[in-house]
Copies of this chain bind each other. A is one copy, B any other.
């Protein structure tokens, strides 16, 4: 069990505050107060407020990219791939619920890394869409509007961070299974 560094602790606490009020509404003095120190002391560990946001968002975005690449590389049916995408979102959202808030709502405040983030997100959505289209072509998936399916599934999966922390008794396996039932069986023949 690796001990978390002071910097990691700051980023973790910042993510929690950012979830509650949004990145822009949290001051460095708010964050320092939550850490039990003065604002200036934060700068012994981090470079800037922006840098904290970058740490939060980019690390999670890269988790999604990594997960998607593994799913794409696997030799499974398209329906099976969708099932694994759902599991990917449930897993990441369970472990980074606070950070997911920044990723969803504060990505536009990235500056140097904005283009990089948008590229990751764009590629992720492209890959997701391709799986849906392939599934329709191969008759695994019913329906003719992959764009709306993508939107609907992603909306649910991206909102998991709001909902998971309120159901502490819920285990990820069971949630994945239920979401799979609702999201996948709903569009498959």
CB of A6, distance to nearest CB on chain B (Å) = 27
A186 located at the interface, meaning its Cβ lies under 8 Å from any Cβ of chain B in the complex: yes
A25 located at the interface, meaning its Cβ lies under 8 Å from any Cβ of chain B in the complex: yes
Whether A152 contacts B183 in the complex (CB less than 8 A), given A105-B105, A159-B159, A178-B145, comes out as: yes
A70 located at the interface, meaning its Cβ lies under 8 Å from any Cβ of chain B in the complex: no
Question: How many of A's residues come within 8 Å of B, CB to CB?
Answer: 32
Q: Which of A139-165 contact B (CB under 8 A)?
A: 143, 145, 147-149, 151-152, 155-156, 158-159, 163
The list of the 5 closest CB pairs from A to B, nearest first, reads A186-B186, A155-B159, A24-B24, A24-B25, A155-B156
| Given A155-B156, A159-B159, 11 new contacts (CB under 8 A) | A20-B108, A22-B22, A22-B105, A24-B24, A148-B175, A151-B156, A151-B159, A155-B159, A156-B156, A183-B186, A185-B186
